[in-house]
Structure formats: C-alpha cells, structure tokens
Amino acid sequence: MSNLTNKKIPSGLDPWNTLRAHTDARIGLGRVGDGLPTERLLEFQMAHARARDSVHMAFEPNSVRNQLDGLDHAILDVHSAAPDRPTYLQRPDLGRLLDEDSVAALGKHAGDYDVAFILADGLSARATHDHAANTLKLILDHLGESWSVAPVTLATQSRVGLGDEIGAALGAKLTVMLIGERPGLSSADSLGCYLTWGPRRGRSNADRNCVSNIRPAGLNPEKAAKKIAYLMVESRKMGLSGVALKDNSSNPELIEG
C-alpha cells in the first residue's frame, strides 16, 4: 500500500476518504474548484518523478556485483547493442541483441549448463539494484546441488529478449532473467522474472513464464524465489516453458525436488 493511502486529507476536503481503504486507486482526493488540492498534486508529481528516475537511472553492475560477494559463480558484464538510454527506449530491437564485445566475452565461457541467470536493468535499474541480487541468492538457496549454473551475467540496456542471446551463447538449457519492469506510478522498483527453456533468438513471450511485481510491497523476494525455483524444477522436468508450464507453486507439496 502506498503512502498515499495512509495520508489524511488535510482539510476535510473529501469526507469520503474512508473509501480509500478499499483500493490503492487515487480516489477521495478532494477538489479545489475543478482542480486538485495542492498536496494531492505534489504527491502525483513525486510518484511520477520517482518512476522517471527509475527509468533513466544508470545501471551500475558493480553495485549488484558487490551484493553478490561470496557467490560461487563467475560474474560477467554484458551490454546490448543499444549504446545509450535514448536509443534503448526507441529501439527495442537493439536491446534484444548483444554488442560485439559481449558476444566475445560470453564465447569464452560457453559450455553445457542447466541454467543461466541474467540480472538486467530493463526499464528500472532501481529495481535491479534493490532486489535482483537478493532474489537470486534466495533462488539459489532453494535449488540444491543438482544444477550446473552458468556464469551470472549483469546486462546493461537490456530487453527481455537479450536473455535468449545470452543463454544461447553460454550454452544454457534454461535462462532465468531478473529484469526491471516498466515502473508504475506507485511501483518504481518492481522486478520481473522471465524463464525461458531452450533460449535462442526468435523466442516469443508465449515461450516464457513470467513472475511479476517482485518488490517488498508487491510479491516479496522470498515468495518470488520460491515460485521461481518451483517453475525451474518443473521446466527442467518437462523440458519446456511458456503457456504449457503452469504455476502450481501455491501447493507446498510441489515445491521440493
């Protein structure tokens, strides 16, 4: 619940603000003439400013790397073919391709892995900075020893499709990408997770499973990690991902394995 909901209308402008308990929607805002009271206006502007800052914040792979200190896997930086943020925002096709240096760097680590984890900026570097490393560690805690894990990649100017290129270059059967989601007005730090079995160029969203809204005020990282680990296990068992892979992780009996 956003702080918006908890704030009292300052001057009793709208006696129905109790209805705000039922929804996070911006109801019962009061009015001044036809317009918004000043505090409501500024609240909106602050929410929008935070969301925009999340979109434009530079991704700092080293900040994520530091949080992964002690991890048992190599960590690689990769970059999409979109050189900067303005290009990234207008050319989603470039955000799905690797730049040349990254292709070369991944080639040196090519192998035969069960899974490749990718931590990517997407549309909210803030989400990745704040929640990606923690979520990854929680997923690894659930997985156990039977998984061969590729080097973890930290991807800059990345769209979801970039994971297909990375997974294919590394030789991974499955990719698990944690990526900043398009910020909503009240959810600037929301992380998404995409699982793709058999990653290769040309995969579509129908081939993936998505766990969305990962953030402390949404689906918290602990619950998300459990769900993701479940989907990984099922994906490996069935040899697929996407619409045919259903999320039954709310049934605790199914989590082990």
Q: Which of 3, 11, 23, 66 binds another protein (CB under 8 A)?
A: 23
Question: End-to-end alpha-carbon separation of the chain, Å?
Answer: 35
Q: Which is nearer to another protein, 33 or 70 (CB)?
A: 33
25 binds another protein (CB under 8 A): yes
- Min separation Cβ 197 and another protein, Å: 23
Burial call 147-177: b when 16+ CB within 10 Å, e when fewer: eebbbbbbbbbbbbbbbbbbbbbbebbbbbb
Are 189 and 201 within 8 A, CB to CB? no
Assign 3-class secondary structure to 101-124.
Answer: HHHHHHHCCCCCEEEEEEEECCCC
Q: Which of 6, 8, 15, 100 binds another protein (CB under 8 A)?
A: 15
Binding mask 175-214 for another protein (x = CB under 8 A): -------xxxxxx---------------------------
Are 111 and 149 within 8 A, CB to CB? no
Q: Which is nearer to another protein, 15 or 70 (CB)?
A: 15
Q: What stretch of H or E contains 193?
A: strand 191-197
35 binds another protein (CB under 8 A): yes
238 φ/ψ angles, rounded to the nearest 5 degrees? -90, -15
- Min separation Cβ 57 and another protein, Å: 12
CB neighbourhood size of 183 (10 A) = 23
Q: What is the DSSP string of 134-152?
A: HHHHHHHHHH-SS--BPPE
Binding mask 68-107 for another protein (x = CB under 8 A): ---------------------xxxxx--------------
Query: Using CA atoms, how far apart are residues 246 and 241, in angstroms rounded to an integer?
Result: 9
Q: Which is nearer to another protein, 30 or 171 (CB)?
A: 30
Q: What stretch of H or E contains 216?
A: none
Q: Which of 9, 26, 39, 171 binds another protein (CB under 8 A)?
A: 26
Binding mask 142-181 for another protein (x = CB under 8 A): ----------------------------------------
Q: Which residues bind another protein (CB under 8 A)?
A: 14-16, 19-20, 22-29, 31, 33-36, 40, 44-45, 47-48, 51-52, 54-55, 89-93, 123, 182-187
